[in-house]
Amino acid sequence: MIHVNDAHVLRSIDYEAYADKVKAINQGIENRTLLGNDYLGWAKYPETYDKEEFVRIKKAGQYIRENFDILVVCGIGGSYLGARAAIDGIQGLYRDDKLQIIYMGQTFAASYVHQVLSYLKGKKFAINVISKSGTTTETAIGFRLLRDLLKEQIGEENLSKAIFATTDKEKGALLDLCKKYGYERFVLPSDVGGRYSVFTAVGLLPMAAAGIDIDAFMDGAKNAMNAYSSDEINPCYQYGILRHELYKAGYPVEMFVTYEPRFVQLGEWWKQLFGESEGKDRTGLLPDSATFSTDLHSLGQFIQEGSPVLFETVLDVEKPAVDVIIPHDEDNLDGLNYLEGKGLDYVCKQAHDGTLEAHEETGKVPNILLTIDEMDAFHMGELMYFFCRACALSCYLNEINPFNQPGVEVYKKNMFRLLGKPGYTK
C-alpha cells in the first residue's frame, strides 16, 4: 500500500475536521452523486472492467509483440500519458525489448513528426491510435500521416492487420473510421475521462504490447480501490487533505519529486491529472515536477531559497529492484574510495535525507512523503489509482468538477478559427 508520511509538513493537521466532508465525498464518489458524476466510471473500473475485452487486449498485445518491431502510440493528454508513465515506470528508460514503443499524435512540431516518420520508413510498425473524441487535431493529423506511410509500406488491404484503435464506445470520428475500414477497436468507456483512463484499453493495450503483466496492474488498481474507497480518512484521502491544507496555508504550487528518472513521465501524467482536474475557477494548486538528484543541480536552488510558493510531494520506493556497487580504485584520484563497496541506493538515500533536511529545516519547505514498495506492475496500478482518487477528493474539497476541462477548449476554438476550420468564426 502507499505509505503517507506527514511528519515533514511543518504544521500539525487536524484530520478530524475533515471527517464529515471526506465521508460525504467518498459516498458521493461511490454512489455517483457528485459534480461530474457522468465521469465517475473509473472509480469502480478495476472491478467492473469488461473481462472479454481484457482478453482481447492481451491477445492484441501479444500479436503486436510477435509481428512488429515498433508500436506507435498515437494520442495526446489522457490518451497517451498514462501508458507512457506506466511503461517507463515499470520497465525503465532503456527497455531491452524486441518491440520498441514510440509516441506520436501529441504534437504539431514538424521537426518531431518528420523525425518519427523518417525513423519508421521501411520498418515493421503497428499503430495504436487513441482518441475518445476522434477529432483531436494533433492525434488526427498524426494518424493520417502514419496511416499514409503504413499504406505505402504494406498496402491498403493490410492496414487493418496493423492498426488498433481505442475510442469511445458509441460516438466519434475515429469510431466511424474504424467501422468503415475494419480496424480492431477497443473501448474508452463513455463514463471515463481521458486522464482517468489508464486502467482501460487506453493504458492497457500499449502496456500489454510492451510485455507488461496487465493482470498485475489491474490487481494493484483493485487493491487500491478496495483500500481507498472507505468513508474514513485512509492514506489516499490523507494525501488529499494534506495538499488542500498546504494550499490553504499559502503554498500555491505542489512539486512532485522522485529520485527515479524512470518516473519522469509519471510526473507528466500526474501533472495532467491534477492540473486539468483541479485548475478551474481561478483556484487549485499548480502541479510541477522534478527529478532528484538531477534537478537538485538546477531547480534545487529555487526550492531552497527562492520565493516560498511551493511544497514538495516526494515519492520514494522502498525496495529498488537492483543496486550498483561503487568499485575500488587504486589511485583514488577522484577521492571516492570512502564509498567503495557501498551501493548507489545507499548514496541516493543519504542524498534524499540530506535534501529533506535542507529543504525542510533550512528552506522551510513542507514535504509530504509518499512511499511505494516496488516499481512493478502491481504497485504502479496501485499508485495510479491512489492518485486518481486523491485528485477527485482534492477537487471536491474545492467544490470543483474534476472531470471537465472548459479552459482547454478556448485555445482550440481560437486555433480552429485561425486555421479556417469550417464553423469557426470570431
Nearer to ligand PA5, 59 or 171 (CB): 171
- Residue numbers at the binding site for ligand PA5 (CB under 6 A): 76-79, 131-133, 136, 139, 193-195, 276, 405
Dist CA 355 CA 26 (whole Å): 35
State the residue number with the nearest CB to ligand PA5.
Answer: 194
CB of 127 to ligand PA5, least distance (A): 15
Catalytic residue among 276, 278, 312, 382: 276
Active site residue 58: no
CB of 55 to ligand PA5, least distance (A): 24
Nearer to ligand PA5, 335 or 423 (CB): 423
CB of 310 to ligand PA5, least distance (A): 24
Tell me how far apart the 2 most distant CA atoms of the chain are, in Å. Answer: 74
Alpha-carbon distances of 209 from 77, 119, 129, 377, rounded to whole Å: 20, 20, 14, 14
Nearer to ligand PA5, 256 or 378 (CB): 256
CB of 76 to ligand PA5, least distance (A): 5
Active site residue 412: yes
Residue recorded with cell 504539431: 108
Nearer to ligand PA5, 78 or 287 (CB): 78
How many CB atoms within 10 Å of residue 249?
12
CB of 131 to ligand PA5, least distance (A): 3
Nearer to ligand PA5, 335 or 406 (CB): 406
CB of 166 to ligand PA5, least distance (A): 9
Active site residue 352: no
Catalytic residue among 21, 161, 271, 412: 412
- Going by C-alpha positions, the residue among 208, 283, 293 that lies closest to residue 243 is 283
Nearer to ligand PA5, 195 or 244 (CB): 195
Catalytic residue among 66, 157, 180, 297: 297
Residue positions annotated with a catalytic role: 276, 297, 412
